[in-house]
Amino acid sequence: MDDQISDLERRVTRLEELVRGYRHVLEDDPEAVEQTAQILALIRQNPGASQRGICRYVQQHYGISRGRALEILKREMGVLWRTTDGAFNAKLYYERDRNTSGTELEQSASRGT
């Protein structure tokens, strides 16, 4: 039992370090913030854009390497955008809905009726 508790404490400590490290990366790297904003703007303008198309576009227009774009896409998945599977194993990106509870949507729908 003590071994399991120790193992859990180590895991929690590691997760806390990862979270702190993630915040530290974004705070210290304004370029990462700018690149993330550029990719988010692209996804907003082109909902359903493929991973391949996003990587190509940001490389041509912003000089972001494919590897860096994939890293950002993976890191912010579920936070800033969501994905669905497309034809031929394509991964399609959409901006994540900000209101996950649905309350705002329900209120505006009830006002309209």
| pTM for this entry | 0.63
Q: Rounded CA gap, 13 and 25, in Å?
A: 18
**Average of pLDDT values for 65-78?**
91
Q: What is the tens place of the pLDDT at every residue in 37-62?
A: 999 999 999 999 999 999 999 999 99
Distance of CA 68 to CAs 13, 33, 63, 73, Å? Answer: 28, 12, 10, 9
Q: Supply the pLDDT for residue 58.
A: 95
Q: Higher model confidence: residue 87 or residue 14?
A: 87
Domain spans of the chain, in order of start: 30-112
What would the mean pLDDT of 4-18 be, rounded to a whole number? 75
pLDDT given for residue 19 in this prediction: 60
Phi, psi of 97 (to 5 degrees): -65, 125
Q: Examine the pLDDT at 101 and tell me if it is beyond 70.
A: no
| CATH number of the domain located at residue range(s) 30-112 in this protein | 1.10.10.10
Please choose, from the candidates 85, 40, 87, 29, the residue with its C-alpha nearest in 3D space to the C-alpha of residue 62: 40
Question: pLDDT category, 17, cuts 50, 70, 90?
Answer: low
